[in-house]
Amino acid sequence: MTSSHTVTVPQSRVLDRTLWGFQIVLGLFMIVASAAPKLWGEATAVQIFDDMGGGTWFRLFVGVVELAGGIGLLVARLAGPAAAGLALLMVGAAITQAFILHGGALVLTPVILCLVFAWIAWERRASIVRLLGR
C-alpha cells in the first residue's frame, strides 16, 4: 500500500519568497531603469523634468531617492522602509503624471507601483518597527 505524501510549504515561507522575488525585480528596476537615467542625464529624463519645471536639482534628487529605495529593497533590514518610501514617491509621481504632465493612462504605472510597494511595506512592517525602535 502506497501513500502519497505531499509536502506543503508554510504560507509564510511562500509569502517571503514571493516578496523577495518582487523586491529583487523592483529593486533592480528602480536602480537600472528609473534612477540611472535620471542620474546620468538621459535626454528623455532631462526633458520630463524640464517639462515639469523641476530642473536638474530635482531630477538628481529623485534619482538619488530611487537609487536608495532600489538598494533598500535588496537589503532585508531596509526592505520595509524602502518600500514605504518608494510608495510615497510613487504617490508624488502619479500626481505629477496626472496633473502636471497630463499623462492620461501613463498615471497607471506609478499607481500600480505604489500599490505593490505599499504591499511590500505592509508585509515587511516588522523591519519598519525595528528601525523606528532604535
- Chain segment 71-88, per-residue pLDDT in tens: 999 999 999 999 999 999
User: Above 80 in pLDDT, residue 10?
Assistant: no
Can you give the pTM of this predicted structure? 0.89
Residues of the chain with pLDDT > 90: what percent?
A: 87
Map residue 102 onto helix, strand or coil.
coil
Cα distance between residue 102 and residue 19, in whole Å = 32
Average pLDDT over residues 104-115: 96
Q: Provide the 10 A C-beta neighbour count for residue 89.
A: 20
CB-based burial label for 72 (10 Å; 0-12, 13-18, 19+): buried
C-alpha cell at 114: 505604489
**First vs last C-alpha separation in the chain:** 57
pLDDT-derived band of residue 11, with 50, 70 and 90 as boundaries? low
Residues of the chain with pLDDT > 70: what percent?
A: 92
